[in-house]
Structure 1
Amino acid sequence: MAFLELVLLLLLQRTFATLEVLPPSTQRVLNGSSVVLPCTFSISKMPFDPKYLAIIWSFQGKQILVYDNKGITKAPRVTFDVEAVKDGRASLTVVNVSLSDGGTYSCLVVYSPERTERNIILEVQVMPTIILPKQTVRTESENTLHCQAVGFFPRDIEITWILDGKTQKQSLIREPVKNEDGTYNVTSDVTFTALKNKNLSCIVNHGSLHEPLQEDLQLIYEGTSAGIIAACVIVPLLIFLIAGVLLWKRKPRRKALGSFIIRDIEAPPKLIDGEEATLHCTVDNDPEDLCVTWWIRRSGQEQEIKTSQMRGHSEEEESLLDTSYVIRSQRDGHQYKASLSFIPHIERHRDVTFICRGVYGQHQKEKTFHCKTVYGKPKLSQPVIRSLFISGEVKYLLNLEKFYPKSIKIIWRCGVEKTEEILTSTESLSDNPDTTYNISSEVRIPEDRHKDPAFRVQVTWEHKSMDKPESRELSIRDPDYRWTPVVEEIQIPRLFHGSATTLQCNISEYFPDAVTVKWLLSPEHSAELYEEINTANNQRIISRRESDNTYSYTTSLTITPTRGKHQGAVYICLVDHPSLEKPIERRTGRLQVYAKPQMLVPIEKTIANSSRVQFSLNLRNFYPKNITISWYFENTSGKLEISPQQTVSTQDNHLTFNVTSVVSIPLHLFNDQQTKILVMWKHESMEMPETRSLSFRDLPWRPHVVSINVPKLEDETKATITCDISGYFPDHLSIFWFIKKDGNLTALPIESSKTERTYKISHKEKRQKDNTYSCEASLTFTPIIGSDQGSEIICRVGHPSVEGPIERSSGPLHIGEKKPILNFVKQLFNDKVPSVTGNKKTEEHEQHLIMGAAMLPVLFVTAFSNMLYSKPQNIESMTICRHYSLYGQACKHTP
């Protein structure tokens, strides 16, 4: 349980590191010596914070050492170098190793929130001892000798016999026998026929030995120098025996039988569950053969306490995992001291009596110690728990477990420095099957009080099992405080020169609602100079309440980046909160400001010469410099790439770049009306390439057709109508003339068999200074007032650059009389006289002509005077009517 408590505590810490633990897999050591179990660890985030570190050593699944920020607890006979932890060494030293210490050890290193555990196997070895007794052998007879290897571990062993330098194959090793202490004994027999051999050797090879052990025996044959050898052995033994008797007689004798005294058993004032306790029993005037034993009396029954320790060893200590009773004894002059160590348990030792009993001969004395109560200390199973409520309060919960007796006092306090107040708490008490108790105590504190970093909450508990009260103090600055702001990296969109954009940073999981945000700008060539950005966010922050009752907020900064100010600069978002010792900082990294190519003017088209057209694309204000521009020529035959000529220039002191890309296209390629010129450019600032398409009709040199120039037309008088066309290129111009009469359109030229008149069309084309063309189109014809009066002359101009033809109209033609008087005469004599038709000459016709000639002066004067007031047609009509009336002819006159 203690281990789980520790891990839960450490996992609440907010640290981030990579942990690696490196112990070897196996370690070997000789019995009785000391061994270092190496365990090293490395943490990527150095130097590490010792508050988040814990080291737990276990043996066969049970803890023998715990080291954390509260200190160190360990079993006897193990040592731990606390200073070495700073260098990543967590090695454990075990002293006075015994066979029971062999097994699997575990080194667990926790650096919150990571934990890594590695195992190491300790193999304890005990070196063998050779026993080769002296034995006599018979010459020329078969002899069997014995050699023993005793007290060794592990079980595997080899024994070899050598007789006068020769290995004996007639040997047999028996099955090893296990001793009570876990070691082994084994006997090897060798059978040989003695032929006056001199030396026999027993050689033992074992895993605990650096080199084999060898015991040599000089063979003794029966009847050979036996008297001399016996004399050499017996005489010294007699000398030592006589000296021992004399010393024994001079030694003071113990006091008389039954004079020993057993003092009252010394015991701790309190027996605490789980904490080792030692009872001391002292015997004065002890006889030499006094036997002191420990007994336990439970429910009226007595039982002797056994231990694996041997009486008389002054410094013997218990096995690492021996949870039973341990007896130690020591004789100092005439005083004998015995102690019993054990770990009290509430259920096992309540109302138990321990007895220290001394026996000498037929005499027996004893003292008792009665365990009336075994106290259970309150265990803090986990750190004080903080939780949030929708109301904004913070609940603090203390859980204490397995204490005895029931009475316990818990006090909560809170405040800033000396202005503390006692809080009203709510307790919930429960009991356990082992007669111990658990208690939960909680208080609730409003959110606003936590906005002060100096605010503290303290809980203290007192219990009879404790020498002094224990307490925990909590603040918003504790390392295990759960609701510190989590600040994500700044979200940076692509930055474009002159285009407004927004930087965002998400902040979440904080409590209370007291976060502040500050934005800073660091120029490109300065690592320490910062410019604070004033934003509305710095003044007011409206947080969002999340489902877990924490808060979140997204801070944003809108900027209009420019290459001059922001290229290579760094924006910094500083987030502060009462739970933080210092603000959390997030940086954008050096900004990259792009500038998109701008097409400020359309593609320029110029006439290079009479046979080529030049296209120029101008892109401005882009960054970085590299840009790709591709030109293509496309028609019904396919698509062909054209190599351009490009010129790149800088602008604004190399902050942005301009480029001009030019291609020259032969004019004949435009004969296909489906011809297109395509240009495409790609740049790092653009998500997709841009394209422009040009056709013949996108050329700017379309024909400009002015109105038809119509001269003054006279009946039957040749005239020329002109139409001026200019500004077109190329010279693929088509001109058509039409005459429109009574809504009917007739193409010109036409020939009339009646009038024998024709239409003549001509074009005069010439090149202008700007390489465009101009043309004067003309139509020559002889208008006839009778047939052409009111007709329209239309000039229709066609060019590849225009979708439909361009038409210009003369409007209704107005044809004047050629000579008014002559016309009158003609009308008079040819048209208005009914008897005069064609070329027929009659007598009546001649008379009319004679009379007409005579009347000419009179008619002329009359007509001239009427011309001042009437139209010629009327004049003629009136005159003709008069003329006809003179001859008695009827005439209808229409004014």
Structure 2
Amino acid sequence: TDLPWSPVIEEIDKLPILENTEANLQYKISRYISTSELSVTWHKKEKNGNLTYLPKNSSKYKPNTSISQLQPDNTYSCTTSLLITPRLLDDQGSEFICRVKHPSLETPIERSTGPLQVCACPRNQDPIQWSHTDREEAVLILHLHRFYPQSIEIKWTCSCRQLLKSEDESRENIFNSFDVTSKCRVPQEHMMHSDHKIRVTWKHVTMTDPEIREVCVRDSDFPWRPEVTELSNPVLLFGRLVTVQCGISNFFPNDLSVTWFVKERGSQGYVLLERQRGYKITASPQYSDSGYSCTPSVEFTPSSFSSHHGVMFMCKVKHPSLGHPIERITKPLFITSAPVVTDSVKLNPCESEFVLCSVRLEKFFPKNIHLTWTFGENKYIQYTPKKTLLVDDEMETFGVISECKIPWNQLKFPVRVTWEHESKAEPQSTELPGPELPWCPQIEALDTPYLILNTECKIQCRISGYFPKELIVNWFKEEEETRQLVPVTNGINYKIPQPQRQPDNTYSCISSLYFTPTRMDHRLVFICKVRHPSLKEPKEERIGPLKIVELFRRPNIDSLETSMLNGKYKIECKISGYSPERLTVTWIKKGKNECVTKDNKYNIPKIVHERQSDKTFSCTASLSYVPKNEVSEFICRVEHPSLDQPIEKHTGPLQLQQPDTNLQERKTGRYLY
């Protein structure tokens, strides 16, 4: 039946639908009676036309109808609603339909929201990012996500309200909404003041008020705050250029200030380095993808222990991104001067067949130094040496003489001195140049003016400058024809040398060879051969060829003596004190000046030379004959190499005499000269 009171559906104020924001779709139903027979249902119509009933117990969509209220005209009214949390993917373009049934209606009435437009508010999930593309400007990047509709307004300004250039790039995402990336180029000059801020503002239809973000170089997430390493703490080497430096990296803009200070030894505090002489400051920023970097440094040459020993440096780094300067301070830097070996290891022989090894190190600082000597065949023997500290007041450095006594036979093996000093990271050492003993014997043949034939003589060699005293001396003679060396034995003696210690603790001796030369020894060569631990091969000295000389001694000739025995005259000439024995006696008969020779008439015995204790010779020359009636006179002529002219002795005239039977022998002493 037709009733005048049929339900009417009225739309309540429509609000914007925002994604993921709970929305309440409401309708007012009025002018009906019989509340118990009112039926209200909600339906969803997809974009493809499918219609879906939304039950009251739906978890996603929550329909609700209020209790009917009696109105003044005795009709009823109620409010029906659908509580939804829309999503762009699910609900964009869909329709929500409210359908009402009542007995007063022939057909149900309904109201539709029409295609639903779901809006999405821009999301700022990420902080504003900093980047840079070159050395002149930085880039600020803003990302806004999942907003709808696409239209959005973004502005960038600086503290002076100057509009900055920007580029916006929007794109649709998988959620049927939009993302936008806004890039703003910020020149360096807008970043060189720590209180200058960069502001970005964006406005969207879904927003009641614009959103604002501000950034500045002082923000905690500013990416280019200088990273400053600790200052280097180099070892100061006296007289050598040294650099103190630190590394500063990843800063932007290029508005960095580095100030150096120094505190020298004896100073009360730090002073500005620019006011000090002798220091060179360098810093050259370099640009890279990560920003600017530089290595500020101070160069100087430690030249005074009173000023530079214990010096300290401080650098202060300022940058717009820093609230306070960054300070870096070195430790006290101490000068070290590395030991210098002024000479190779010296060796000197000393008492008890020991060798004194010594080394001299100079120009080191500080004075603490540790030295050890090592030597030995199978296992090194460590020896803490005697140490004498030297002080160089002018150079303000130290020196040391280190000495070590070792047995001489240990020099056959490596001998090393090692020192440890803080100027060097590793121990330093030096070794003896070689295993050879440096004190080789020197052989010198002593002058032998001449060798006298048949006279014992002495040949000597002086052997000096050797250490240790172990020495073997052998004498050899060289055969003239074969040139072979024959050990000296038969009839030749040599004296075993007794070594004498010299002031320099080396040894010397004289080796003597005694022999009596004969004529066969003329031009003989003697070799003195020496063996010593310092020699790899025997060392020798050749003496000769020797020249044998004869010692000429003039003969002493007595007056001639005559005698007669048994009717024969006998004339005798005694000769003595001559050398060599090459003496010739000739008898001459005066008047005829003819030499008397041994025959039946004259008897001349062969001369016998007798060696005397003084190495001279003596002999007696005689002539015997039977006198005739004539008077005879004889001359005894003596020739010898020592005489320039022969010596003659005369008998005087010899007359015939009658034999005296009572006198067996009568001597006559008449002489001529």
Aligned residue in 2 for 1:888: none
Q: Structure 2 CA distance, aligned partners of 1:468 and 1:462?
A: 7
Q: What is the correspondence of 1:478-493 to structure 2 with a 5 Å cutoff?
A: 478-488=219-229
Q: What is the correspondence of 1:425-436 to structure 2 with a 5 Å cutoff?
A: 425-432=166-173, 436=177
- The number of equivalent residue pairs is 556
Shift of 1:732: 1.8
Matched, 1:441 2:182: yes
Over 3 Å counting, the alpha-carbon distance change for 1:329 and 1:587 in structure 2 is farther
Q: Structure 2 CA distance, aligned partners of 1:734 and 1:276?
A: 121
Aligned residue in 2 for 1:410: 154
Shift of 1:775: 1.8
Q: Which residue of 774, 781, 794 corresponds with 2:508?
A: 774
Shift of 1:406: 3.5
Q: What is the correspondence of 1:88-487 to structure 2 with a 5 Å cutoff?
A: 272-275=18-21, 348=91, 375-389=119-133, 394-413=138-157, 417-418=159-160, 420-423=162-165, 425-432=166-173, 436-444=177-185, 457-487=198-228
Q: Which residue of 372, 375, 382 corresponds with 1:629?
A: 372
Over 3 Å counting, the alpha-carbon distance change for 1:616 and 1:500 in structure 2 is same
- Residue 517 of structure 1 contacts residue 538 of structure 1 at CA under 8 Å; is this kept in 2? no
SS class of match (1:379): coil
Aligned residue in 2 for 1:732: 470
Q: Structure 1 CA distance, aligned partners of 2:348 and 2:249?
A: 62
SS class of match (1:732): coil
Q: What is the correspondence of 1:508-523 to structure 2 with a 5 Å cutoff?
A: 508-511=249-252
Q: Structure 2 CA distance, aligned partners of 1:539 and 1:760?
A: 83
Over 3 Å counting, the alpha-carbon distance change for 1:502 and 1:789 in structure 2 is farther
Shift of 1:385: 3.9
Over 3 Å counting, the alpha-carbon distance change for 1:595 and 1:305 in structure 2 is farther
- Any idea what the Cα deviations from partners look like across 1:28-75, whole Å, max 9, x if unmatched? xxxxxxxxxxxxxxxxxxxxxxxxxxxxxxxxxxxxxxxxxxxxxxxx
Matched, 1:541 2:284: yes
Q: Which residue of 448, 451, 460 corresponds with 1:722?
A: 460
Over 3 Å counting, the alpha-carbon distance change for 1:652 and 1:343 in structure 2 is farther
Q: Structure 2 CA distance, aligned partners of 1:266 and 1:353?
A: 16
- Residue 643 of structure 1 contacts residue 663 of structure 1 at CA under 8 Å; is this kept in 2? no
Q: Structure 2 CA distance, aligned partners of 1:674 and 1:726?
A: 20
Aligned CA-pair RMSD: 6.5
Q: Structure 1 CA distance, aligned partners of 2:256 and 2:480?
A: 91
- Residue 411 of structure 2 contacts residue 436 of structure 2 at CA under 8 Å; is this kept in 1? no
- Residue 711 of structure 1 contacts residue 719 of structure 1 at CA under 8 Å; is this kept in 2? no
Greater relative contact order (CA < 8 Å, ≥ 6 in sequence): 2
Over 3 Å counting, the alpha-carbon distance change for 1:460 and 1:746 in structure 2 is same
Q: What runs of 5+ residues in structure 2 fail to find an aligned partner?
A: 30-34, 556-577, 586-596, 605-620, 622-633, 647-673
Which segment is superposed worse, 587-596 or 430-439?
587-596
Q: What is the correspondence of 1:581-730 to structure 2 with a 5 Å cutoff?
A: 581-585=323-327, 600=342, 603=345, 605=347, 609-610=351-352, 612-615=354-357, 621=364, 627=370, 629=372, 631-634=374-377, 639=379, 641=381, 644=384, 660=402, 662-663=404-405, 665=407, 670=409, 675-676=412-413, 678-679=415-416, 681=418, 683=420, 685=424, 687=426, 690=429, 692=431, 697-698=436-437, 701-712=439-450, 718-730=456-468
Aligned residue in 2 for 1:799: 532
SS class of match (1:779): strand
- Residue 271 of structure 1 contacts residue 277 of structure 1 at CA under 8 Å; is this kept in 2? yes
SS class of match (1:467): coil
Which segment is superposed worse, 728-737 or 606-615?
606-615
Q: Structure 2 CA distance, aligned partners of 1:703 and 1:329?
A: 134
TM-score w.r.t. structure 2 length?
0.58
- Residue 356 of structure 2 contacts residue 403 of structure 2 at CA under 8 Å; is this kept in 1? no
- Residue 457 of structure 1 contacts residue 475 of structure 1 at CA under 8 Å; is this kept in 2? yes
- Residue 625 of structure 1 contacts residue 657 of structure 1 at CA under 8 Å; is this kept in 2? no
Shift of 1:710: 2.7
Q: Structure 2 CA distance, aligned partners of 1:710 and 1:664?
A: 41
Q: Structure 2 CA distance, aligned partners of 1:403 and 1:631?
A: 84
Q: Structure 2 CA distance, aligned partners of 1:764 and 1:304?
A: 135
Over 3 Å counting, the alpha-carbon distance change for 1:540 and 1:558 in structure 2 is closer
Shift of 1:777: 2.8
- Residue 584 of structure 2 contacts residue 640 of structure 2 at CA under 8 Å; is this kept in 1? no
Q: Structure 1 CA distance, aligned partners of 2:514 and 2:357?
A: 41
Shift of 1:437: 3.3
Shift of 1:686: 5.1
Which residue type is aligned with residue 418 of structure 1?
C
Over 3 Å counting, the alpha-carbon distance change for 1:465 and 1:656 in structure 2 is farther
- Residue 297 of structure 1 contacts residue 353 of structure 1 at CA under 8 Å; is this kept in 2? yes
Aligned residue in 1 for 2:663: none
Q: Structure 2 CA distance, aligned partners of 1:323 and 1:447?
A: 53
Q: Structure 1 CA distance, aligned partners of 2:94 and 2:435?
A: 116
Over 3 Å counting, the alpha-carbon distance change for 1:760 and 1:693 in structure 2 is closer
Over 3 Å counting, the alpha-carbon distance change for 1:476 and 1:710 in structure 2 is farther
Shift of 1:661: 5.9
Q: Structure 2 CA distance, aligned partners of 1:295 and 1:537?
A: 90
Which residue type is aligned with residue 512 of structure 2?
S
Shift of 1:541: 1.6
- Residue 486 of structure 1 contacts residue 507 of structure 1 at CA under 8 Å; is this kept in 2? yes
Q: Structure 2 CA distance, aligned partners of 1:694 and 1:475?
A: 71
Over 3 Å counting, the alpha-carbon distance change for 1:477 and 1:824 in structure 2 is same
Over 3 Å counting, the alpha-carbon distance change for 1:386 and 1:674 in structure 2 is closer
Which residue type is aligned with residue 469 of structure 2?
D
- Residue 525 of structure 2 contacts residue 545 of structure 2 at CA under 8 Å; is this kept in 1? yes
Shift of 1:766: 3.2
Q: Structure 1 CA distance, aligned partners of 2:551 and 2:346?
A: 55
Which residue type is aligned with residue 629 of structure 1?
T
Q: Structure 2 CA distance, aligned partners of 1:427 and 1:648?
A: 82
Q: Structure 2 CA distance, aligned partners of 1:543 and 1:793?
A: 85
- Residue 702 of structure 1 contacts residue 727 of structure 1 at CA under 8 Å; is this kept in 2? yes
- Any idea what the Cα deviations from partners look like across 1:437-472, whole Å, max 9, x if unmatched? 333333556678766767765433333333333344
Q: Structure 1 CA distance, aligned partners of 2:373 and 2:639?
A: 90
Q: Structure 2 CA distance, aligned partners of 1:345 and 1:609?
A: 109
